[in-house]
Amino acid sequence: MSKLGIFDLSVRYGKLTAVNNISFTVAEGERVFISGPNGAGKSSLLAAIAGEVRAAHGRIEMDGDILSGRVPEAIARRGLSMVPEGRRIFRALSVQENLMVGVGLRRDKTAVPDDLEAIYAAFPILGTRRHANAGALSGGQQQMLAIGRALMTNPKLMLVDEPSLGLAPRVVDEVYDRLCSLQAQRGLTLVIVEQSSARAGRVGGRMLLLRGGQIVADGDAASFAADDLLKEAYFGKAAP
């Protein structure tokens, strides 16, 4: 059974169709990049999976459980965690409070202190600044905090929306390094929206290319870079 299954999913905002009849499945432990130009429907797809927008049509399953139609907090409780676009950390709360927010929904409360230390081990800067206001962190640190916050709910499946947004390339490298090693440690399934397909190719994994709300290509991210498909997705087919 696949970890995540999307079947004939459509998302509409009024008359505008953002996601148009998409189907794909994600296997346990897989890393899937969703790439494509602006307005391709990447973030809408993620928002629909996390329950933030209601699907107009179709079905979303996780471990065979139907997620579509549930509210975000109920979906989070099932072990799906979202790192939202633009980080959206709780700025007036301390770093540690940010990490503890998601803990309320866990049943295994005794494991919380160990998990907290594990996050601090993975992101040492968060450990040293644990009592600082989260709003005082740099962009890269905030991104790490947002990832740490999502991990504290002990998810099986994590959605990451544009982790590279507004960060220096060197910082983006660091964020992806950490994400990949955390995935290896925990056997996480990752679905990442990444605008830069070149970046996705370097990090490695499977890539879905979206355009106009539909999947135009699905394959190994590294082999995409050379492929004409990419140019087509961004700029449209060349005139014959």
Partner 1 sequence: MTEHQARKLASLTTPLLLIALLTAFVLLIDAFGDRSLGRMAAETLIRVTLVVGFWIFAGNSGVISFGHAAFACVGAYVSAWMTLKPAMKSLLLPGLPDWVAQAEWHVLPAAVVAGVMAALLALATGAAILRLSGIAASIATFAFLAMVNTIWANWTPVTGGTSSVVGLARYVTPWVGLGWASVAIVVAAIYGASASGLALRATREDEVAASASGIDRYRHRLAAFTVSAFFCGVGGALMGHLIGVINPDGFYLSLTFLMLAMLVVGGIGSLSGAVVGVLVVSIAVEGLVRLEKGVTLGATQFALPAGSQEILIGLAMIFVLIFRSAGLLAGRDLILPAAWVAGRAKTTK
Positions touching partner 1 (CB under 8 A) are 50, 52, 71-73, 76-77, 81-82, 84, 88-93, 97-98, 100-105, 130-131, 149-150, 153
Q: Which is nearer to partner 1, 96 or 196 (CB)?
A: 96
- Which residues are within 8 A (CB) of 50 and not within 5 positions of it... i.e. 6 or more apart? 72, 75, 76, 80, 82, 159
Q: Which is nearer to partner 1, 52 or 174 (CB)?
A: 52
Q: Give least dist CB 42 to partner 1, A.
A: 17
Displacement of CA 73 from its chain's centroid (Å): 16
Q: Is 216 exposed, middle or buried (0-12, 13-18, 19+ CB in 10 A)?
A: middle
Q: Give least dist CB 20 to partner 1, A.
A: 24
Question: Phi and psi of 207, rounded to 5°?
Answer: -130, 135
- Of 202, 172, 204, 213, nearest to 45 (Cα)? 213
Q: Give least dist CB 196 to partner 1, A.
A: 24
Displacement of CA 145 from its chain's centroid (Å): 14
Q: Which is nearer to partner 1, 7 or 90 (CB)?
A: 90
Q: Which residue, chain included where needed, has tokens 């594990």?
A: 118
Q: How many residues does the chain have?
A: 240
DSSP conformational letter for 3: S
Q: Give least dist CB 91 to partner 1, A.
A: 6
Q: Which is nearer to partner 1, 53 or 200 (CB)?
A: 53
Q: Give least dist CB 223 to partner 1, A.
A: 33
Q: Which residue, chain included where needed, has tokens 């998810």?
A: 155
Q: Give least dist CB 143 to partner 1, A.
A: 13
Q: Are strands 16-26 and 4-13 parallel, antiparallel or unpaired?
A: antiparallel
